[in-house]
Amino acid sequence: METVYKIYCASYEHALLLVESYRKDPRLQEEILETLNATVPHTGASDLNFFLVKPVQRVTKYPLLLGKILENTPTSASAYPALQAAARSMAQVNANINEYKRRREVATKYNKAEHLTLRDRFARLNAHSIAKKTTRLSRLLMHEAGIVAKTEDREYDDLEEKFQCVVSSVAMLKENVASYLGHLEAFLLPTPHKHDLQIDEGPSQQYRRFAEYVHCTVFPEFKRRLDRLVCQPLCSLSDMLVGPQQLVKKRLDKLLDYEEIQERKSEMGSVTYDEEAAMNTYLAINALLVAELPLFNQVALQLLGQILCSFSALQQDLAAQVLHQAEKELEQMPHGHMPLPSFWKMVEDTLHQSGAQLRTFCQTFEMVTPSPVTQPLNPVEERKVFSLVSKHGPDKLYQVTSNISGSKDMDLTLQRGQIVALLQSVDTKGNTSRWLVDAGGPRGFVPAGKLQPYCPVQSQEPGMQMPALESSMERRQHSYASPEAPRPQVAAFTPAFQVVAGFSFAARSPHEVSLQAGQPVVVLEPHDKKGSKEWSLVEVNGQRGYVPSSYLVTIPMQEPMGWSLPV
């Protein structure tokens, strides 16, 4: 009796809110009135409130009725002791119902997830809240430092540990299901070389038809069922965990307040009304969690198990459906009934034949492919490269293989093809995947995976001095320098460079020429007819025209070692 009534009474306020929402719908309200008039016309009830309040009134009348009967029963009657026990029991039932309702009200107050803006949080700050949070923080630090003993509740600690395990399991399963679905969709997505095959018959056409059937028919149905049977229940279960999580978090805050007030009470002998209310709030939250967390954990685990069973069944159905379709397509293939050893022998022979054809094609292609156009380095970049060589030596030079965008402090932003000098192969934290380099001025860290050793082409002219930079330094010698002093011969190198289009460009007039990103060009004049360096006259594929100078990139190039695909 107590179990039924306390749940009903605790939910009574929520039921009244529902009835109030029904009144906003005239059609629903009219249907309710018609039902009441047809089923209970003798009550004269005009809405559902008349019936909802009856159980709440009835349970409070039981102690009064039993007390009235007890007053009119002689003490010598045989029923008198039973009436006394009944009256006491019903009084206790009412007390338990009130206590349960109070706990539920406290839980309803604290288990709502609040989404407050920063302005709202600052608006809530006042002297009292700051003092309370400071006291809680100091109490928590004293717990961690072992200065004061922590209140232990083994029963609650075990329940919370199981609850947190459920929370982490649900979150991990949501993440894994989403990742599984994404990988499966990417795996089944037809790749361009399969999708664009211009083959109207044969095994390739059958395979393409099978792949399209799986991606366009089987997978959408599997995804729809997975969303309905796994993802939606999993999200609902995750939403169910938010309220208890908030309550568990609030219990810790109230426990810190409770310990502080208990300590003050033992010293002073009494507490204020607000402090007594704070202690009762903690006791109510703790009692509610201890009473309801076991059932909640059990139900959550049952739901999680059912979701996993549904997930496994869906995967089995998917595998069976794909296998059935694959067997149907296999029966139509010319080699579908061939013995397995003969089939593998045929596959091996075909692969050997195709490999030989591919090698012959590659050798022929290398012989007819022209060498890339190389151009001398401009003076600024030439001085930069020779400066790096003079400072660090040619064995420390590395080439950037792809564009690098610095995202952290001390990170460099570099373009593909730039030359840098290695200073240190680890960062300040000992991470070997980030190297410290010198980019000819700025120094910083770059990913090690985007660097490769740079091997410049050695000059064939013996005794060649350092170019332009060195000769210009000689011309600026002071008068007191000895002109006859012998200078050591320096073996110089001439790295090969080429100018390529860093970005695609579409010609807009007959005087311009179109470019594709990465396309080699020959710079004829680094300016236009008016001398502006914003435009450069280039030659590409036998055509001449102007392109924006900012679209051109000069990159070092290693000595050609055969033809390779452009990046």
Is 412 contained in some domain? yes
Whether 348 shows a pLDDT value over 70: the answer reads yes
- Does the structure show a pLDDT above 80 at 132? no
Residue with tokens 């091997």: 455
Alpha carbon distance 189, 211 (integer Å) = 8
CATH number where 545 lies: 2.30.30.40
* Rounded Cα gap, residues 333 and 491, in angstroms: 67
For residue 48, give the nearest of 83, 21, 85 by alpha carbon. Answer: 21
**Of the ranges 71-75, 123-127, 170-174, 291-295, which one carries the lowest mean pLDDT score?**
123-127
Give the per-residue pLDDT at 193. Answer: 53
Are 511 and 406 in a shared domain? no
Ranked by mean pLDDT, the top range of 120-124, 410-414, 555-559 is 410-414
Q: Which residues pair with 521 in a beta bridge?
A: 499
C-alpha distances out from residue 228 to 232, 235, 315, Å:
6, 11, 14
Where does the pLDDT of residue 466 fall: very low under 50, low under 70, confident under 90, or very high at 90 and above? very low
Q: Given this model, what pLDDT does residue 346 score?
A: 87
Looking at the domain assignment, is residue 175 inside a domain? Answer: yes
Q: Same structural domain for residues 192 and 283?
A: yes
Structural domain contains residue 383: yes
Burial class (CB in 10 A: 0-12, 13-18, 19+), 185: middle
Residue among 283, 289, 291, 290 nearest 243 (CA): 289
Residue 256's CATH number: 1.20.1270.60
pLDDT digits 0-9 by tens, 206-248: 777 788 888 888 999 999 999 999 999 999 999 888 888 888 8
**Which CATH number does the domain housing residue 19 bear?**
1.20.900.10
DSSP assignment of 5-26: HHHHHHTHHHHHHHHHHHTT-H
Least confident of 152-161, 177-186, 194-203: 194-203
Q: How far is it, in rounded angstroms, from Cα 294 to Cα 299?
A: 9
pLDDT at 104 over 70: yes
pLDDT at 374: 43
Q: What is the dihedral of CA 244, 250, 254, 257, to 10 degrees?
A: 160
Q: Is the pLDDT of residue 474 over 50?
A: no
Residue 562 belongs to a domain? no
Of the candidates 316, 340, 332, the residue with the CA atom closest to the CA atom of residue 210:
332
The verdict on 308 and 426 lying in the same domain is no
Clarify whether residues 305 and 420 are in a common domain. no
Question: What is the domain count for the chain?
Answer: 4
Q: What per-residue confidence (pLDDT) applies to 369?
A: 53
User: 31-40, 118-127, 191-200, 249-258 — which is least confidently predicted?
Assistant: 191-200
The larger pLDDT score, comparing residue 139 to residue 414, is at 414
Q: Is residue 368 part of a domain?
A: no
Residue 146 sits in the same domain as residue 43? no
Q: What is the pLDDT of residue 372?
A: 47
Stretch (H or E) spanning 538:
strand 535-540
Confidence bin at 82 (pLDDT 50/70/90) = very high
pLDDT recorded at residue 60: 87
- Share of residues in the chain with pLDDT > 70 (%): 82
Cα(291)–Cα(96) distance, integer angstroms: 13
Instruction: Give mean pLDDT, residues 312-327.
Output: 92
Q: Per-residue pLDDT tens for 269-318?
A: 788 888 888 888 888 888 888 888 899 999 999 999 999 999 999 999 99
pLDDT top residue among 283 and 196: 283
What mean pLDDT value characterizes the chain? 79
Count Cα neighbours of 436 within 13 Å in the Cβ-side half-sphere: 11
Confidence band for 426, pLDDT divided at 50, 70 and 90: confident
Q: How confident is the model at residue 10 (pLDDT cuts 50, 70, 90)?
A: confident
Residue 196 and residue 331 in contact, taking contact as beta carbons nearer than 8 Å: no
**Domain identity same for 294 and 222:** yes
- Does position 502 have pLDDT exceeding 60, yes or no? yes
pLDDT of res. 530: 82
Per-residue model confidence (pLDDT) at position 408: 78
Say which residue, 110 or 529, is predicted with more confidence: 529
Mean pLDDT for 411-430 is: 85
Residue where one domain finishes, among candidates 422, 453, 484: 453
Contacts of 167 (CB under 8 A, 6+ apart): 241, 245
Q: Which amino acid is at 91?
A: A
In a domain, 305, yes or no: yes
Of the candidates 336, 171, 151, the one whose C-alpha atom is nearest the C-alpha of residue 237 is: 171
In this predicted structure, the answer to whether residue 25 has a pLDDT above a threshold of 70 is yes
286 and 428 assigned to the same domain? no
Range of the domain at 234: 133-332
**pLDDT for position 567:** 39
Sign for the pseudo-dihedral over CA of 126, 131, 136, 141: positive
What does the pLDDT read at residue 146?
75
Residue 139: count of CB within 10 angstroms of its CB: 18
Q: What is the pLDDT of residue 419?
A: 84
Q: 425: closest CA among 414, 415, 417, 436? A: 436
In a domain, 466, yes or no: no
**Smallest Cα–Cα separation from 296: which of 446, 552, 111?**
111
Is there a single domain that holds both residue 59 and residue 193? no
- Percent of the chain whose predicted confidence (pLDDT) is above 90: 18
The residue out of 453, 477, 509 marking a domain boundary is 453
486 within a domain of the structure (yes/no): no
Tokens of 507: 């010609």
- Flag whether pLDDT at 26 surpasses 60: yes
Q: pLDDT tens digits for 108-127?
A: 776 665 555 667 666 766 77
**CA gap 527, 201 in Å, rounded:** 56
Query: Would the pLDDT of 483 be above 50?
Result: no
Residue 179 has pLDDT above 90, yes or no: yes
| Low-confidence winner among 62-66, 472-476, 550-554 (lowest mean pLDDT) | 472-476
Q: Which of 505, 510, 543 is nearest to 524 (CA)?
A: 543
Q: Does the pLDDT value for residue 475 go beyond 70? A: no
When mean pLDDT is compared across 65-69, 205-209, 473-477, the lowest value belongs to 473-477
Q: What is the pLDDT of residue 254?
A: 84
392 with 429, same domain: the answer is yes
Note the pLDDT of residue 398: 87
Q: Which range is least confidently modeled, 139-148, 154-163, 223-232, 249-258?
A: 139-148
Q: Hey, is 548 helix, strand or coil?
A: strand
Q: For 78-106, give one letter per residue: b (16+ CB within 10 A) or e.
A: eeeeebeebbeebeebbeebeebbebbeb
Is the same domain home to 103 and 174? no
Residue owning tokens 């007890």: 70
Q: Does one domain contain both 4 and 82?
A: yes
Q: Is the pLDDT of residue 177 over 90?
A: yes
Contact 367, 538 (CB under 8 A): no
Does position 391 have pLDDT exceeding 90, yes or no? no
Say whether pLDDT at 170 is over 90: yes
Residue finishing a domain among 41, 76, 111:
111
For the cut 50, the answer to whether the pLDDT of residue 489 exceeds it is no
pLDDT of residue 403: 85
Distance CA 24, CA 28 (A): 8
Same domain, 507 and 442: no
Residue 108 backbone dihedrals phi, psi, to 5 degrees = -60, -35
Determine the pLDDT at residue 472. Answer: 38
* Of 248, 323, 257, the residue nearest 290 (C-alpha): 248
